[in-house]
Amino acid sequence: MNVFLDSIQHFIDIDFSGVRTYFVSLTVTIIVTYLLIVVFRKIMQQLFKRTTLLEEKKKETIESVVKNTSRYIFAIIILIAAIKPFVGDLKEVIVAGGIIAAVIGFGAQKLINDLISGVFIIFEGTIKRGDFINVNGELEGGTVEELGFRIIKIRLINGKLLTISNGEIRKMVNGSVEKRRIFESLIVSFNQDPGIVRVLLQEVCDELNTKQLALLQVDKLTGDYVEKYEIYGLHSLDTSPFGYKFSIVATVNDTDYLVASLEAKKVLAQKLYDNKVKMAEQLINKGY
């Protein structure tokens, strides 16, 4: 009976000084690790502000990747600090953890696929933070808000946030590779004089070239504009609804595309309305 009581007493005999030391050490590790990560991010941000060697999008992409990666590093360091007092040799735990991770990896192929895909996307520079992309053939696109090794967060035009795993991206259209081309078309009636339409379109191009001069793409080598607003031409006679199809084009900075495109539509529509241009109409067969 005495032996049993002694074993119970030994079991509940807790070294509170050791427990206190453990939690103090763990707390200090968490605080120091967090501060180091914050300081590193701040230093990186200040360096990016003072350098012109990298494009703004590349800077934002690197910051986004570092932000996501630092979370994993923080978690790993805290995990190691938490289990270290309970193991004899940390190397053995790491090796055993690696073996367990390899075994689990066979059942977590999707996660590994996401990580590998993320590595290729980031280091090949396929997309950057701030790019406007369409994924997997979806008509609705959005702006890349956050880029990581496992997932990508895309802010859609309607304001919703789309989160997609890197491994699920099968097809991607990037509309923000340094420059974007505005291509606005209109179809006018066969009863409308095409010569008048060309004159009006030229007026639209002149007005947009004045209003959007700062939005037009400039060639970095020559300093000339890549493509100012101009008439693409009358390039179709059999478009449905039936009529003449004209277009205007221009090359703008990718970050200014949405603003430039909306203004171009507005100016074009107003010009057509003010001059009472006859637009093409869809013929409907009513059966009589």
pLDDT digits (tens, 9 = 90+) for 184-218: 888 888 888 889 999 999 999 999 999 999 888 88
pLDDT recorded at residue 275: 92
Q: In Å, how far from its chain's centre is CA 44?
A: 20
Q: List the chain residues with pLDDT less than 70.
A: 1-19, 48, 51-59, 61, 85-109, 175-179, 238-241, 282-288
Give the pLDDT of residue 93: 57
- The percent of residues above 70 in pLDDT, for the chain, comes to 74
67-78 CB burial, b ≥16 within 10 A, e <16: ebebeeeeeebe
CA-only gyration radius of the chain, Å:
31
**pTM confidence score:** 0.50
What is the distance between the alpha carbons of residues 76 and 1, in angstroms, rounded to a whole number?
A: 46
CA distance 128 to 80: 33
Residue 185, phi then psi, degrees to nearest 5? -120, 155
How many CA atoms, within 13 angstroms, populate the side-chain half-sphere of residue 126? 18
